[in-house]
Chain A
Amino acid sequence: MERLFTYLQYPFVRYALIVGVLIALCSSLLGVTLVLKRFSFIGDGLSHVAFGGIAIAGVLNVSNDMLVVLPVTVISAVLLLRTGQNKKIRGDAAIAMISVAALAFGYLLMNMFPTSSNLSGDVCSTLFGSTSILTLSIREVWLCIVLAAAVLAMYVLYYNRIFAVTFDESFAQACGTKADRYNLLIAVITAVIIVLAMNLVGSLLCSALIIFPALSAMRLYHSFRNVTIASAVLGVVSALAGLILAILTDLPVGSAIVAVQVLVFGICCILEKHI
């Protein structure tokens, strides 16, 4: 306990906690919709695309990775959504194709234009999350806060429409809701969240941040609103617990958070049987 308070004196620990909580909040909120729309695959595919984006950013030697990664991921999200609606190409096959291709090309690029001597270390930290969450600059923290606030505001403002489109897309469309527009919104927000979450847990693990809180919440509650709220709470609590655990024990942040989420999911499964 005492050690925790000493650590909290350091600004970089506080930044990490703030950013971690915000990212967990956004991804767990949106996770409910993504899981229910069977979009969780998209999240997974996008995270690999973002990995490719990081490689490109490295090659181009851009000072801020986000400037490359964010647009690349958002565009891929829109494309993936389009192919998902195209009945000729199977949506899941398209996602698998794009995500594997992005991984392969990303790794190729990193090898062809190595930016540092420790290549495998770089790759590992991009895939599994690095300690970079503990080296955030104040500018990155603010960028994260702004993006998270935008995502939250969108989610709250469009909550009812997101519910309608998630529950029954054709009814919503027949009765005058522009379903396409909200699907697009969901895809773009997903891309933003993926890019944010990559900083926290790395690209292989960031879909865990999206799906686990939602799945846990669905074990316990049966209305959309309660599931959404529970998912947000579970997401934030597990992220905090994982971060603190990682800081105290010097374990990797991403794996610690995901481990806590798996644990929470297990507890929710057990609770479900007993109520």
Chain B
Amino acid sequence: MTKTKKETLLDVKDVSLGYEDGAIIEHLSFTVQAGDYLCIVGENGSGKTTLMKTLLGLQEPLAGTIERSAALKDNAIGWLPQQTVVQRDFPASVREIVLSGCLNRTGRYPFYRKEEKERADRAMARLGITHLKDRCYRELSGGQQQRVLLARALCAAEQVLLLDEPVTGLDPKVSMELYEMIRQLNRSGITIIMISHDIASAVQEATHILHIGQNIFFGTKEAYTNSRMGKYFLGTEESGE
């Protein structure tokens, strides 16, 4: 096996996405390989979240196929939703929520074992929420809640981590740390698919860019920065390189 030939985890072929009332995106094709760091950018309402939900299997594509590699087991995916609608009076401690991310590791065993509890503790430490672990989720600030859900996503992500606008609501310091952490995770072999509105840092961090909207672009970040679309959105067009 040569190292250059990486394994394809997701193969999206000519997919149309949308809801009953019509397609939002049509003829979308791209692939994600093990170890990639893919950033999905696009305007509000362009269908990024819809794409991510389709990748996760929460909804069916209107047309086309999405092939998941055999290696990408169902229980190897972590996800940070853009919005989590939690009822206002839901009683749940931070630790219970983070632990629930480990559920896909327990297999048929009904309870959490020591290793899962340690994994949850590590995820909480990484996001600096260990001191909140017995607090009630609904009493936390928005940024703290975001970190709890991130810790949960980390627990679940064995091979692939999907993040829907992860830095929303985080302060600048934590955002920086988050990007750094995602970079480390990516180096340790976890494939990252991230939705972001921050095109500048997306281009800095990612290996591949998927830009959806009126025109669709998919390619490496180098190709993106050199494309007309990329130049336009990065604001480098006028500077006339």
Contact = CB atoms under 8 A, between A and B. Distances in A.
Contact of A224 (B74, B93, B152): B93
A176 B91 CA distance: 24
A171 B110 contact: no
B227 to A, nearest CB: 32
A167 B81 contact: no
Contacts of A223: 91-93, 96, 134, 136
B231 to A, nearest CB: 35
Interface string B65-99: 00000000111111101001011011111001101
Tell me the interface secondary structure of chain A in the complex. helix
B237 interface: no
A160 B87 contact: no
A158 B89 contact: no
Interface in A228-260: none
B103 interface: yes
A172 B149 CA distance: 12
B223 to A, nearest CB: 30
A275 interface: no
Contact of A167 (B57, B90, B156): B90
B100 interface: yes
Interface string A141-177: 0000000000000001111110110011011111111
Contacts of B76: 176
A48 to B, nearest CB: 25
B110 A158 contact: yes
B102 to A, nearest CB: 9
For A156, A159, A163, which residue has the most chain B Cβ atoms within 10 angstroms? Answer: A163
A166 to B, nearest CB: 8
Nearest to A32: B91
Contacts of A176: 73-77, 103-104
A61 B97 CA distance: 50
B106 interface: yes
A174 B78 CA distance: 8
A158 B103 CA distance: 11
A167 B100 contact: yes
B200 interface: no
Contacts of B134: 223
A222 B97 CA distance: 13
B1 interface: no
Interface string B156-193: 10000000000000000000000000000000000000
Interface in A191-236: 218, 221-227
Interface of B: 53, 56-58, 73-79, 81, 84, 86-87, 89-93, 96-97, 99-101, 103-104, 106, 110-112, 134, 136, 139, 152, 156
Interface of A: 36, 38, 156-161, 163-164, 167-168, 170-177, 218, 221-227
